């Protein structure tokens, strides 16, 4: 029983230490946005240029368009891309990774 409790404490401590912060989320958004732009444009030199620029532009504004709710062992990030007060996507940050819960989009309803 003591070993199980010790493992639970170690596991919780590991999750607390690896709970990603806003800087980590900014890096995730940069990569995610660039990959999504490139995927939608289908590749090529123009796609490479626009995906890099789009990723940088969105990541540069993360502190203004994202809200972080920390739950100690994980964080929930909500984006409001168009500033209308309604979320345009959510991601869960846990153990140094991000899981997209609701796709990031600026379109109404989806």
Rounded distance between C-alpha atoms, residue 11 and residue 78, angstroms: 26
- In this predicted model, what pLDDT tens digit does every residue of 60-77 receive, in sequence order? 889 899 999 999 999 999
The C-alpha torsion from 110 through 104 and 78 to 32, rounded to 10°, is: 170
Please say whether the beta carbons of 34 and 51 come within 8 A. Answer: yes
Mean pLDDT of 28-35: 91
Residue 72, φ and ψ in degrees, nearest 5: 70, -55
Q: Give per-residue pLDDT as tens, 66-107.
A: 999 999 999 999 999 888 989 999 999 999 999 999 988 866
The predicted pLDDT at position 107 comes to 61
Residue-level pLDDT at 110: 44
Segments in the chain forming alpha helices (H): 2-17, 22-41, 45-60, 62-65
């Amino acid at each position: 029983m003591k070993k199980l409790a010790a493992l639970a404490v170690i596991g919780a401590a590991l999750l607390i230490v690896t709970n990603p912060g806003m800087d980590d989320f900014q890096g995730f958004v940069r990569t995610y946005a660039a990959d999504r732009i490139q995927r939608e444009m289908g590749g090529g030199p123009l796609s490479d240029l626009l995906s890099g620029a789009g990723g940088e532009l969105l990541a540069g504004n993360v502190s203004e368009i994202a809200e972080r709710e920390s739950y100690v062992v994980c964080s929930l990030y909500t984006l409001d891309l168009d500033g209308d007060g309604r979320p345009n996507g959510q991601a869960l940050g846990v153990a140094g990774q991000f899981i997209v819960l609701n796709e990031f989009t600026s379109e109404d309803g989806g």
